[in-house]
């Protein structure tokens, strides 16, 4: 599953991993309709580290959910790795997510009843790996995020930054192509946030992960290879206002 083309590949026709075409997303709140995304287009080359910014409520999380197969567009197409994921059945979509996407959340979303290692093993339960293989993979992932020695600890015994690193370990445990991070540093102080960004940057550069990161922080966005702004349902490359 290693990406043939890693970050910064400069061929004439870049290998597009994510292709969002003419996507509308409308939420119904009772009788009221909320148009969040309207005719949105986006192409993300393999190996890119994309920062997604924009005002609160502009639809950043919504877009991320569509690309990660957590939600479906009202209109339009979402293609990842050449596959129309908006067309997949719920069941197929679930197993597609398990294989191709790693998710990192603002509030880590770890299972409080599981140790760090068991949290990282969660997505591996969905693979045919044996018990000992799962353990090896989980320990490796924890090693990558620098928490190999905390594998027996429960989330409540870890700092926010450490919890987020466990979250990242969980996201990369199955070695997915695509990492989707929704405000991964939003709940962390500067120092812990920087460590997380270092980690994401390293994953992008050294392991060729394609990363989409939603953030409100320009310092965080500065770590990305490209930044896009979402406003009024559209993407722009310059901030508005």
Ligand X SMILES: Nc1ncnc2c1ncn2[C@@H]1O[C@H](COP(=O)(O)OP(=O)(O)OP(=O)(O)O)[C@@H](O)[C@H]1O
Binding site for Mg ion (CB under 5 A): 61
Which of 61/210 has CB closer to other proteins?
A: 61
Using CB under 6 A as the binding rule, whether residue 185 contacts ligand X is answered as no
Q: Return the closest-CA partner of residue 202 out of 212, 193, 211.
A: 211
Instruction: Print the binding letters for residues 156-175 with other proteins: x by CB under 8 A, - otherwise.
Output: --------------x-----
- Residue 82 within binding range of other proteins, rule CB under 8 A: no
Asked if 151 and 138 count as a contact pair (C-beta separation under 8 A), the reply is: yes
Q: Taking Cα atoms as reference points, which of 27, 35, 28, 32 lies closest to residue 232?
A: 35
Q: How far is the CB of 204 from other proteins (least distance, A)?
A: 20
What lies within 8 Å, CB to CB, of 103 at 6+ separation is 68, 70, 171, 179, 180, 181, 182
Asked if 59 touches ligand X (CB under 6 A), the answer is: yes
C-beta of 1: minimal distance to other proteins in Å? Answer: 15
- The answer to whether residue 49 forms part of the interface with other proteins (CB under 8 A) is no
Residue 190 has a CB neighbour count (10 Å cut-off) of 10
To the nearest whole angstrom, how small is the minimum distance from the Cβ of residue 25 to other proteins?
10
Residue with tokens 């939600």: 71
The DSSP secondary structure of 119-177, one letter per residue, reads HHHGGGGGSS--HHHHHHHHHHHHHHTT-GGGTT--GGGS-HHHHHHHHHHHHHTT--S
Q: Please report whether residue 155 would count as binding other proteins according to CB under 8 A.
A: no
Please state, in angstroms and as integers, the Cα–Cα distance from residue 83 to each residue in 78, 91, 187, 229, following that order: 8, 15, 33, 25
By CB under 8 A, the count of residues binding other proteins is 27
* Per CB under 6 A, 29 contacts ligand X: yes
Q: Could you tell me which stretch among 40-48, 74-82, 118-126, 232-240 binds other proteins (CB under 8 A)? A: 118-126
**Closer Cβ to ligand X, 60 or 134, answer by number:** 60
Binding site for other proteins (CB under 8 A): 61-62, 65, 68, 70-71, 90-91, 94-95, 97-99, 103, 105, 109, 111-114, 118, 122-123, 125-126, 131, 170
């Amino acid at each position: 599953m290693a990406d043939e083309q890693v970050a910064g590949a400069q061929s004439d026709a870049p290998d597009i991993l994510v292709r969002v075409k003419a996507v509308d997303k409308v939420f119904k709140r009772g009788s009221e309709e909320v148009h969040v995304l309207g005719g949105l287009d986006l192409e993300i080359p393999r190996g890119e580290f994309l920062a997604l910014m924009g005002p609160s409520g502009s639809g950043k999380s919504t877009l991320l959910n569509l690309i990660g197969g957590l939600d479906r567009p009202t209109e339009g197409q979402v293609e990842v790795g050449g596959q129309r994921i908006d067309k997949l059945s719920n069941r197929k979509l679930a197993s597609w997510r398990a294989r191709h996407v790693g998710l990192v959340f603002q509030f880590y979303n770890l299972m409080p009843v599981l140790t760090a290692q068991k949290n990282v093993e969660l997505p591996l339960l969905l693979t045919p790996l044996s018990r000992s293989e799962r353990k090896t993979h989980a320990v490796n992932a924890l090693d990558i995020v620098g928490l190999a020695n905390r594998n027996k600890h429960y989330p409540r015994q870890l700092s926010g930054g450490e919890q987020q690193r466990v979250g990242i370990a969980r996201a990369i445990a199955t070695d997915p192509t695509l990492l989707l991070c929704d405000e991964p540093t939003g709940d962390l102080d500067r120092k812990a946030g920087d460590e997380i960004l270092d980690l994401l940057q390293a994953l992008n550069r050294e392991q060729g992960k394609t990363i989409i990161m939603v953030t409100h922080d320009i310092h965080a966005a500065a770590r990305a290879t490209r930044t896009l702004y979402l406003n009024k349902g559209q993407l722009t490359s310059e901030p508005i206002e």
